[in-house]
Amino acid sequence: MTLTLKIIIGVFVFTIIGLVTMQFIAPNLTPVNNANNTTLSLAKDTIKVSIEGEVEAEGSYLLEEGSNLDDLIEVANGLTDNADTLCFFTDLVLENNQTYYIAPIYDIDDVCGNTKLIKCNINNCEKDDLKNIDGIGDSIAQNIIQYRAENGSFYSLEEVMDVNGIGNATFSKLKNYIRLKDVN
C-alpha cells in the first residue's frame, strides 16, 4: 500500500469516527440541505440558553423547548451555597437565546464572604424602598410601580429590563439587590 493511500484511508476513518462522535456529543444537531451547501442546525424543538451567577457551571446549554429554570440549573450542575432562592422561580419557562442570572445571598466582593446583601422585593416594594437600590432613582422607581400595575408581578430578574429606563448597565447594578419572593 502506498503512503498516499494510507493517508486517504486514515482521513476517511478519522472523519467517520468524528461524525459518529458528534452525534453522541450533540444529538440535537441535524443536517439541513441548502441549495448551495450542507450545514448543521439545531433541531426545531431545541433552545439555547445561558446561565450566570450562583451555579456550579455557568455557560450556555441546549435544552428541549418548554424546559424550565429548574432544568437549566440541573444541567449547570446545581446551585452554589451562595444562591439566593428568593430571586428566581424554578418553574419559569425558558426562552430561546436568553441568559438567566442566579443572584447571591452574600456579597461576593466581601473578602470574608459573610456580608448578607440587603434586598428589596421588586414585586411589592414601595417607591421609597426602591429608590434605596443603587441605580434606581425617582423616575425608574415610578416606572417599576407602573410596570407592576400594568403587567403584574415580575417572574424573573431579567424581566426588570422590560421597565422603561432599565437597560443592561442599570440591571448589572441592581440585580444583586432585588428579589422576587418574600422571606418565608
Q: What pLDDT digit, counting tens, does each position of 148-182 carry?
A: 999 999 999 999 999 999 999 999 999 999 999 99
What pLDDT score was predicted for residue 19?
61
Domain spanning 120-179: CATH superfamily: Tex RuvX-like domain-like (1.10.150.310)
Mean pLDDT (the chain) is: 85
Q: How confident is the model at residue 7 (pLDDT cuts 50, 70, 90)?
A: confident
- For the segment 5-31, the average pLDDT, to the nearest whole number, is 61
Q: How far is CA 67 from CA 47, 85, 92, 96, 158, in A?
A: 9, 19, 8, 10, 17
Beta-bridge partners for 42:
29
Q: What pLDDT digit, counting tens, does each position of 107-152 carry?
A: 877 666 678 999 999 999 999 999 999 889 999 999 999 999 999 9
Task: Report whether 67 contacts 96 (CB < 8 A).
Answer: no
Q: How many CB atoms lie within 10 A of CB 150?
A: 7
What pLDDT score was predicted for residue 107?
87
What pLDDT score was predicted for residue 162?
97
Q: What is the CA radius of gyration of the chain?
A: 23
Pairing of strands 38-42, 46-53: unpaired
- For the segment 35-40, the average pLDDT, to the nearest whole number, is 40
The residue assigned the cell 446583601 is 117
